[in-house]
Structure 1
Amino acid sequence: MLLFSGLIAGCDLLEFSPNETRAPKEYRDLTRKNLEALQARPNPTGGDTVRFVFIGDSQRFYEEAEAFVQSVNRQRNIAFVAISGDISDFGLIRELRWVHDRLKHLDVPYLTVVGNHDLVANGREAYQRVYGPLNYSFEYGSTRFVFVDTNGREYGFNGRVPDVPWLQQTLAAPAPGIRRQVVMSHVPPHDEDFDKQLETSYVQTLSGPNTPPVAFELNGHKHDFGIGQPYENGLTFINSYSFEKRQYVVLTVWGEKEFKLDTVQY
């Protein structure tokens, strides 16, 4: 009887299926926990400037993740790390846990947006269990950050992802003390995996008369760095290096749309 009770108490250590979506407490609600940690930290740059690390697509690059953590921890005045999706490769909760086992050693909080690989099989449930909401926003360092699910192909291009009405409402919400907005998603709107019936409305939402304005959009998915204005409307898109590239970008943002980026190799 005692042996049976011990097995039940330790069931978090067992995995009964590759598609298991349960997780021990320390692997749940990581977005909320990281946001709480971020809000408890004073902005290291002060004023209206915020400096953060931008990278994407950790997937199965576990050795690279360990080297990444060591490199970021040597940087100064970093507020947080932003990861532009594809935390996992096959949407497995064990992958999310393995990545977190590396990233939890960062000296700063890290925040993620959901990627297309994170939605494979039972991945959506796994991602929501480990990290939390697929669409969310927060304010820090005079900036509103908006993270949005843009993985249209994974929803069969159903005309509802990304959630443009939610994005419009979020960008239009009153923002005292906020000077600019930064949007991050995984799939950029000019990619074939984005729902084309929503491309125009999505881009118009980002580039419209938002107050405060959208400084730029951050994306992943392509596994390499890129920067440009594909719609010639003044809106800048920045794509992340993936972990396998052993490079990341440090973004410093100030004013309404002013920013500086530095590339770090590790």
Structure 2
Amino acid sequence: MARLLLIMIVSGVLFLSLMLMSLPGATSDSAEGTPSTANGLVFHDKNGNGVADPGEPGLEGIRVSNGTDIVATNADGRYELPVSSDTTLFVIKPRNWRTPLNELNLPQFYYHHKPIGSPKSKYPGVEPTGPLPESVDFAMTPQEEPENFRAILFGDPQPRNQKEVDYIAHDVIEELIGTDAAFGVTLGDIVFNDLGVMPAMNKTVALLGIPWYNVVGNHDINMDAPNRKLANETFEHFYGPSYYSFDYGPVHFIVVDDIEWIVPQGDGRSTYRGGLGPEQLKFIETDLAQIPEDQMVVLMMHIPIIGVHDRHDLYRLIEQRPLCISISGHTHHHEHVWITDVDGWNGPKPHHHIINVTVCGSWWRGTPDERGIPHATMADGAPNGYSILNFDGNDYRLDYYAAGRGSNHQMEIDAPEVITPAQTSESLVYANVFNGDQHTQVKMRVADGDWIEMDRVREVDPKYLRTYESELKVLEKNPGLFTEIPRPKASSHLWKANLPASLPLGTHRIHIQAIDRHGRQFDDSRIIRVEE
């Protein structure tokens, strides 16, 4: 009888353990027989089959991380790291080596260790991985990475559905096919809440034929998650860890997850804010401590760094590095921000943060063009598009590409169509220089007259304002014909000046010239008429 009672108690304990493990978010290393330490090999995959075959040597000094700790492989290419029952191991790609790509050109540099998989959610997560393998190996193949290279940056493609994926295909992807860029990065908001659109988006971007990295955005998370730890399960399913780093050429790139998913107590409504958290900050600190002080570092994130609540902890890690910039998306306008002591920056020089132009512009809103694609002009008057970050050693340069408009389309000029001679000195000319900033010089002249310096102002672009107001009138008469563009907001890249007095009667060319901080010159023109 006592033996039977003991059997019943043991069976009950086992049954209760299994039930607890089946609960959302439940994990148990001991129940799965998972060791507390992962071992593995980083090796030269000579035949490209992803398996460490005889004659394929281990690679020494390659860094591997569990998201907090970072270790370097030994002389035999081996490493070991502590793991929990929800850990992603990943290799930090060094210069002149490449990790495998899957059929969608997504880098395969990670291994998820989730013995029981992701908890149930609206969208798929990571399938159960089972016990930890005896060896978690990472394959690498050599590639040449020069001092000079280019990287494509997509801010917020943010398609809601296949129709908007098709907008991206025709507006941006088609003109980029055949690019010589080394790789591309989507700076978050890969999709717009419907994570089921990710496969279609991935297939479209894959047509570019280059490695494509991804940053998690606030519209890319599992919004039914009970906490931040479980908010990225679908992102992890498709793209791997939500923060990581890699080298290309002489540059070190750090992908940052600054989406802090918050489930408040009380009303039950969940929200997010810009935040990094101690675990990620420890990874960044360890990562930076292991690379040269004079190496160029680029941090890529979704929410602009100035909107992250614990940004000052990040500032302390990067502000003394002589070569460091950061880039984000999220706000649906384009801006160069120079962070100074006003924001608590203690570095010897301002930090350059770029808020990147978005692929979807104003969320694919506005009147459709002849292709049926909304014009999607952003609220600062700049067109939707993408950027390319050019590197030459430690020097960098960002180029703005307006979707479907060609590389020469760098500004919009707003001026009266027709004026009288008496109105000339009272008439304003505006130049919206999309990629301009406080270091850009803009001037104009009419016909062969003298050059006039234009003043940089932070105002609403008047041309965008007229578009906004005229489209509202159309929608009042035709509700649902298209989606209203967002309210205008002040632009950081707008210049204005008065026309010269007493222009003669006739048709005249206004010539605008912009010179950026790199000394590059951009020119554009607009025609006006002076009539009685």
Contact conserved, 2:222 with 2:234, CA < 8 A, in 1?
Answer: no
In 1, distance between residues paired with 2:401 and 2:305? 27
Match for residue 80 of structure 1 among 158, 172, 183 = 183
1:164 corresponds in structure 2 to 281
Deviation, 1:120, is: 3.8
The 3-state SS of whatever aligns with 2:220 is: helix
2:339 corresponds in structure 1 to 230
1:107 corresponds in structure 2 to 209
Contact conserved, 1:50 with 1:254, CA < 8 A, in 2?
Answer: yes
In 2, distance between residues paired with 1:18 and 1:163? 24
Contact conserved, 1:149 with 1:162, CA < 8 A, in 2?
Answer: no
2:220 corresponds in structure 1 to 118
In 2, distance between residues paired with 1:36 and 1:183? 25
Residue ranges of structure 1 left out of the alignment (5+ in a row): 1-16, 25-34
The 3-state SS of whatever aligns with 1:171 is: helix
The normalised TM-score by structure 1 is 0.74
Stretches of 4+ aligned residues off by more than 4 angstroms: 153-159
Matched, 1:143 2:251: yes
In 2, distance between residues paired with 1:159 and 1:261? 26
Instruction: State which drifts further: 49-58 or 140-149.
Output: 49-58
Residue ranges of structure 2 left out of the alignment (5+ in a row): 1-119, 128-137, 225-230, 264-271, 342-348, 362-383, 405-532
Contact conserved, 1:137 with 1:144, CA < 8 A, in 2?
Answer: yes
In 2, distance between residues paired with 1:229 and 1:162? 27
Deviation, 1:189, is: 2.4
1:202 is aligned with what amino acid?
L
2:287 is aligned with what amino acid?
T
1:30 corresponds in structure 2 to none
In 2, distance between residues paired with 1:107 and 1:224? 28
Matched, 1:199 2:311: yes
The 3-state SS of whatever aligns with 2:245 is: strand
2:49 corresponds in structure 1 to none
The 3-state SS of whatever aligns with 1:133 is: coil
The 3-state SS of whatever aligns with 1:42 is: coil
1:152 is aligned with what amino acid?
E
1:184 corresponds in structure 2 to 300
Deviation, 1:264, is: 1.6
In 1, distance between residues paired with 2:234 and 2:251? 29
Deviation, 1:181, is: 1.2
2:285 is aligned with what amino acid?
Q
- Given the superposition, is the C-alpha separation of residues 224 and 202 from structure 1 closer, same or farther in structure 2, using an over 3 Å criterion? same
In 2, distance between residues paired with 1:36 and 1:242? 34
- Given the superposition, is the C-alpha separation of residues 41 and 223 from structure 1 closer, same or farther in structure 2, using an over 3 Å criterion? farther
Q: For each residue in 1:42-66, what CA deviation from the matched residue of structure 2 results, as whole angstroms up to 9, or x when unmatched?
A: 33xx3x2221111211221412321
Q: For each residue in 1:219-238, what CA deviation from the matched residue of structure 2 results, as whole angstroms up to 9, or x when unmatched?
A: 01112221121335421001
Q: How does 1:198-217 map to 2 (within 5 A)?
A: 198-208=310-320, 210=321, 213-217=322-326
Larger Rg: 2
- Given the superposition, is the C-alpha separation of residues 106 and 237 from structure 1 closer, same or farther in structure 2, using an over 3 Å criterion? same
The 3-state SS of whatever aligns with 2:158 is: coil
In 1, distance between residues paired with 2:392 and 2:350? 17
Contact conserved, 1:185 with 1:219, CA < 8 A, in 2?
Answer: yes
The normalised TM-score by structure 2 is 0.39
In 2, distance between residues paired with 1:21 and 1:146? 26
More strand by share: 2
- Given the superposition, is the C-alpha separation of residues 64 and 171 from structure 1 closer, same or farther in structure 2, using an over 3 Å criterion? farther
In 1, distance between residues paired with 2:359 and 2:251? 26
1:66 corresponds in structure 2 to 169
1:260 corresponds in structure 2 to 397
The 3-state SS of whatever aligns with 1:137 is: strand
- Given the superposition, is the C-alpha separation of residues 51 and 36 from structure 1 closer, same or farther in structure 2, using an over 3 Å criterion? farther
1:249 is aligned with what amino acid?
S
The 3-state SS of whatever aligns with 1:229 is: strand
- Given the superposition, is the C-alpha separation of residues 91 and 161 from structure 1 closer, same or farther in structure 2, using an over 3 Å criterion? farther
How large is the RMSD of aligned CA atoms in angstroms? 3.0
Q: For each residue in 1:6-38, what CA deviation from the matched residue of structure 2 results, as whole angstroms up to 9, or x when unmatched?
A: xxxxxxxxxxx98130589xxxxxxxxxx989x
Matched, 1:98 2:200: yes
- Paired positions, count: 225
Q: For each residue in 1:120-163, what CA deviation from the matched residue of structure 2 results, as whole angstroms up to 9, or x when unmatched?
A: 42551110011100110111111111001011355766872682
Match for residue 248 of structure 1 among 342, 362, 386 = 386
Deviation, 1:119, is: 1.5
More helix by share: 1
Matched, 1:50 2:146: no
- Given the superposition, is the C-alpha separation of residues 254 and 164 from structure 1 closer, same or farther in structure 2, using an over 3 Å criterion? same
Contact conserved, 1:152 with 1:162, CA < 8 A, in 2?
Answer: no
In 2, distance between residues paired with 1:91 and 1:172? 38
